[in-house]
Structure 1
Amino acid sequence: MNHPFGKEEAASQKQLFGFFCECLRRGEWELAQACVPQLQEGQGDIPKRVEDILQALVVCPNLLRCGQDINPQRLAWVWLLVLEKWLAHEKKLLPVVFRRKLEFLLLSEDLQGDIPENILKELYETLTQGAVGPVPDGNPRKESCTHHLSSEAISVLWDLLRQSPQPAQALLELLLGEDDGTGLCHWPLQNALVDLIRKALRALQGPDSVPPGVVDAIYGALRTLRCPAEPLGVELRLLCEELLEACMTEGSPLREERLLSCLLHKASRGLVSLYGHTYAEKVTEKPPRATASGKVSPDHLDPERAMLALFSNPNPAQAWKVAYFYCLSNNKHFLEQILVTALTLLKEEDFPNLGCLLDREFRPLSCLLVLLGWTHCQSLESAKRLLQTLHRTQDPGCDELLRDACDGLWAHLEVLEWCIQQSRCCKSLLNLPGQVSTVSVQYS
């Protein structure tokens, strides 16, 4: 083939683009993929046309020519990865809807025997469309961005959670999508899940036998919940109270450790905090209180006294657990709260409790507390008791510089104490009657 002089490169790229299209028509996918890197460096409108073709391959997998060893959805996934790499080179982001739709189609292959065809169609429409729905109490102006699922679809999802928890969780995560930080997105589906969890919790405590898989369904549903930093409505607060009650009930099949592992994910931080506040209220024997909007009441015990009481518990695991929930509900770092508590005890010269607080895991903080609290000592005796309580020269966990600084303070105290003793001796000598008369005679 003859090419215009000086335009060989452009003609070669055009010919490569034609070969790329021919490979797609024939279903020669490996050869077509091999052409993509060079076409991305092409001139003119070739890169744009290739990008449009890649998007079409992902969006319309049913139009692809597939062999017996691969179906359209899996082939579209291969081209999705190619498109993602293409867009990354162009410093663009792959539209989230592309991946979500394709993930749903791949997942639905394994669920066709468990979910009726009409329900799968409804779920796919929910995934691809948005509709306005009601929102929780206290937020009448905001709108949900999820299509309402029918009661039949919700029931099918719950049954799937009982029978096949992992595929059901993957499906729910696709339906709920990414958390937008407000907790309003997909609220109708979340509200339905919360209602089903609470209903299952009541069934666990009832006299009737519980259907198999209910506990796994509860765990699976909790893993998919999204919750903002400020929980919306009273439903989530009531859910936390009922979860806590179920875990504390003797003979309950729910295990709090596993329940918390289900809640500890990025989109559910608010729910963990709410559960922690509920737990802290229960342990400190304060009645749970919530406002009309479901937000947590700010009333707490005195933080210093609460932390001291927690770490006076002879059971370290229980103390750490309660302290974690307490600090989480108060938005405090536990080390910060320990230091504040220790300084408060030091100011009050409550050295027995101070030593008890720093006697176990927090022993490495002892020397630091000596330096932080040194200026709060009101007397020599107070300073001595502080060093006697907290200064441990043999503690391997103490920083060497802090230990040396505390040694220096101890030496200063010894010198100061010696000076005071000498001063008292001099005063006592001057106050003796015989010495006074002798001195007066000499100067008379």
Structure 2
Amino acid sequence: MNIKLAEYGQRRERLMKKIGTGTAIFRSAPTVIMHNDVEYVFRQDSDFFYLTGFNEPEAVAVLAPHHEEHHFVLFVQPKDSEKETWTGYRCGVDKAKEFYGADKVYPINELHEKLPQYIEKANRIYYHLGRDKNFNKVILSYWQRLMAAYPKRGAGPVAIEDPNPILHSMRQVKSITELEMLRKAIGISVIAHNRAREFVQVGHYEYEVQAEIEHAFLSHGGIGPAYPSIVASGANACILHYIENCRQIQENELLLIDAGCSYGYYNGDITRTFPVSGKFTGEQKAIYELVLEAQLRSIKSVQPGKSYNEFHDIAVCVLVQGLIDLGLLKGDLEEIIKEEKYKPFYMHKTGHWLGLDVHDVGVYKQGEGTWKLLEPGHLLTVEPGIYISPNIKPLKGQPEIPERWRGIGIRIEDNVFVTKTGHEVLTTGVPKMIDEISL
């Protein structure tokens, strides 16, 4: 299952229509050193990949809709048999044109010579000043030279503009093919979570569970984890991004697993929390029921035309009222929410966009105080939680937390796709109802 060449072309055409007589420039992801001269496995920049499908480092993509001949230009590493012996095969200049639909392909070492012809007649340069500081300097130097010549030429880019607001709005709405890729990534994630729940026993180490999860990712065709897998037993579940995964699982504990598979660079992101021995304690069950109610009610509110923040506000209301009922918070519901007195228990938002990036691109707000409206094609996570750290310090005026509650951390996360008429939960294959996960 792959994105077809035609779809990449359609994405580029859409972007070029939006930039008019501008030129957009995109840089591939850098290689990253793990230690000494050993590199991490290469992962392409998501924007670059979204527009090209090209999966090699040391590359530049140029979109120049105003150019007479070449609208889509690639600069790539040339074929080099000696280097390919060490680091793997390269597509090369000729095959890049054939395989990726570029109008023109140059060796990357000709960038400085060839790039100016694609920007000198543009009215602006669309380029994101990102983490590649050296390449930032290259683009800025081109722009400065062209601006210096502007009075004599009367043409050239008068500004550098970030393409992200345009491109990321496109990426937020998933195509039919993208949804298929996401279903595959999420489907493998479902298999992995179910395998982990079947496998885990008291006495296992967290890393053993992690190994089962990531084995499932790879054995079903995934690239690997979409992010470092979280396998958090007991009080470790109160650490939001716990990734050490080194503790031995004890009797009567909960296990929180937050793990997702990456498939073709598209990602799943699922969290489940369950009692390892099969039975909740009274306190664990009370908190789990509360988080589950918050999640179910939040998911129900995911509808086209609804404000992005609505499902978060619903989750907060449910969680705060539940904590008041349990005696873990006290005071007026609205005041507690307004003053954020619940934050020691619930310190994150209830979801995020999901796609080529796990925390996918795209705005959440459109101007001060105006939340983006959900649209068909959006994919987001819904993941409320409650975390009662052993070291929790209630805010002034709030009750002390009895020991029996401390060390309980629960999060439940699903991936929810916005449809024309409502929503579809893509992660229903992993059980979360109490009678499904406990004896």
**TM-score interval (norm. to shorter):** under 0.3
Q: Over alpha carbons, which structure has the higher Rg?
A: 1
The structure that is strand-richer by fraction is 2
Higher helix share: 1
Q: Tell me: higher relative CO, structure 1 or 2? Use CA pairs within 8 A at least 6 residues apart.
A: 2
